[in-house]
Structure formats: structure tokens, C-alpha cells
Amino acid sequence: MKNCILIFSFISALGFSAQAQHVTTATKSLPIGVFDSGTGGLTILEAMLTLDAFNNETGLPGADGKLDFSSEYFQYLADQANMPYGNYNAENKTDLLKEHIFKNMAFFLQKNTTKPDVKMIVLACNTATAYALEDIRAKLMGEGYTVPVLGVIDAGAKAALEYQAKYGTGTIGVFATAGTVASNGYPRTLQAMAKAKGLPELSVMSQGGAGLAESIDRDWSYYVDTITKARSEYKGPSLKNSVYKIDSLLLAAYNFDKAGNKLLCEYDDKGSCLDMQLNDPSNYVRYHLVSLLEKMLREKTPQPMNTLILGCTHYPYMRDTIAKVLPSCTIIKRIMSIVIVLVLLRMLN
């Protein structure tokens, strides 16, 4: 890959201006709800809190020296009791996943003596967006709510196509949770957008990052910072994992970080490694990105990858490691305007 761009999927608010027009004066002072299954959505919240891309008076693109969300406040909800969301599809529990998401949306819309309800909900979770966004909109509309609900998938897809239109076509990589990959949300959205633009079918290759988001959130099944040897409770990639198998022939390509307890082995009495387990988020990144590149080689992908979408809000935390594994990638933190600002300006004016 001579040239590659790394896209962080932020916010897309396409199709919400009509809903925003129904917001009353009484709701203008309410907070914005930001939802994720864990801490990854904080990358979305950070982007919103530090954004100065629009004129706060006119709503037109262009910085005005005032943060676009300086007059807003937020409720952040992380459903860590039921995470990781990315694994529900593999266990045929997508209905249960939606049930969890609906309950969290109901929390945002509740108001009592300790919290107000919200005027807008941002699904800062790719898996929730992929499996439940349209259902949430339909459910809230059916219950008489006019609260806009925003997702993240359209933003990443739009940014990828904008980059390719400017710099040339290539394979678009999608690095997301296993659940988001299984939903086919990104390829479906990318192909639909390309068709609408009159473009030929895209080359898209996806990799489910099993264990990465979980290790970032310190899920015990995938990462424990105090252990020193392999364990039976581990669920991540390993030499013995039939789905996410560490290929012993690719150890040089993985280039795992072996410092401390970041890589664990189960040894026999001769000192040979019978099983290898990852025990650090950086090694999950190395495993999955090398697996993505190997998949492209096996399937003889006709075009090299020039665009990589990080389809999980946890993954930007690992941008330094990603840059080391894919040194030709240019990391773009804000690839597109955050249209949510325009929606808010309509609500506040």
C-alpha cells in the first residue's frame, strides 16, 4: 500500500432536519444523549466537545473561534453491564441486543428529580447503529417522540467515498467488531452510496476485530493485566482458536509485542509453546490487521487497500499502533463536517 487513509467514523445526521423542526422551545435547554456499549463512544463525545467547524450564528461551515457545542451539555451512557455488543450476533442473540438498546433509549427519554430527558440521541456505537438504528427511529416515532437519533455508519462510508473520488479508487477496508462486520452494514451502505453516485461496484474487505474493543475495556475474558500465563477462560485469538487462529507461519508478520505479559504461552515440559494468547490491545491490533491483509492476498483482491474505516469507536484509542502496522496510512481525525451542528442550530434558533 503506497498510500492509505485511515478514517474515524464520527457522526452522520443525514435526514434529521425535518425531525429537528419539531423540537419545541421547552426542549432546547435539554442535554444531548450519547450512547455506546462501553467507553469507545467517548471518542465521539471528545470530537463533539472540541469541534469548531461551523459559525455558531449563521450555521455555515467555517470556524468562528467558538466551540460548536460550548453551550450544550450531555448525558453519556455506556452499557457495560451488557457489553460487548459485537459478540451478540455470533451467539444468535440479536433480538436480545436490540432489547438492551431499546432499554437504554428509554433511559435517555426518562425524566425525574435526578435527570432530565434528552433532546437528541447519538448512537456512538457502530454495532447498535448497524442492528437497531432504523428500529429505534420507528419505535420512537410510533410512541410519539420526535427526538432525532443519529448513527455513525453513514459518516464513515461517505468519507471513504469522498477520499476515493479525490485520490483514486482502491479496496476499502472495514475494521470493526465481529457483530458490525456480520451485519454487513458498512459494505451495504458503501455499495448503496456508490450506486447512487453512478459508480461501479466497490472492492470492500472487512475484518472483525474480535477481542480488541473488549481488551480496551478490560474485559477479563480477553485481557488481564496481572496474569503471567495462559488460561482456559481466555476467548481471544490463539493457536487453538478455530475461528480466530494465530498462524504460526505469520509470527514475523504479526510482530507481536512480547514485553512483560503482553503475549502469553502455554508451554510443554520441553519449553515449546502449545498455545499462544494475546494479552494487550496492541497485539489484538497487530493480529487483526495482518489477518485483513492476508485475507486480501488469499482472495486475490484486484486493488490494493487505500482506505481503512475504523468501524468501532474504541479503535481510535489504538491509532498509534495502527499507524505502526500500516505505516503508509494517513490518519485523518475529522474527515467530514459533523452535520449534527446544523441540526442543533435549527433547534436553538
Check residue 64 and give its pLDDT: 92
Is the pLDDT at 102 greater than 60? The verdict is: yes
Alpha-carbon span 142 to 146, nearest angstrom:
10
Q: What's the pTM?
A: 0.82
Q: Are residues 182 and 325 in the same domain?
A: yes
Q: Are residues 298 and 270 in the same domain?
A: yes
Is the pLDDT at 116 greater than 50? The verdict is: yes
CB 296 within 8 A of CB 161: no
CATH number, domain of 232, equals 3.40.50.1860
Cis peptide before 116 (omega within 30 of 0): no
Query: Helix or strand or coil: residue 10?
Result: coil
Is the pLDDT at 23 greater than 80? The verdict is: no
Is the pLDDT at 333 greater than 90? The verdict is: no
Q: Are residues 192 and 116 in the same domain?
A: no
Check residue 78 and give its pLDDT: 95
Q: Each residue of 279-309: pLDDT tens digit?
A: 999 999 999 999 999 999 999 998 999 889 9
Q: List helix spans (H) across the chain.
A: 17-20, 42-49, 94-109, 126-142, 153-167, 178-183, 185-196, 212-216, 251-254, 281-298, 319-325, 340-348
Check residue 12 and give its pLDDT: 42
Count, in order, helices (H) and strands (E) of the chain: 12, 11
Alpha-carbon span 142 to 349, nearest angstrom:
27
Q: Are residues 172 and 301 in the same domain?
A: yes
Whether 306 is covered by a domain: the verdict is: yes
**Average of per-residue pLDDT across 19-28:** 54
Is the pLDDT at 253 greater than 80? The verdict is: yes
Query: Helix or strand or coil: residue 88?
Result: coil
The more confidently predicted of residues 43 and 189 is 189
Whether 297 is covered by a domain: the verdict is: yes
Query: Helix or strand or coil: residue 226?
Result: coil
Alpha-carbon span 63 to 57, nearest angstrom:
11
Closest-CA residue to 76 (of 50, 39, 113, 112): 39
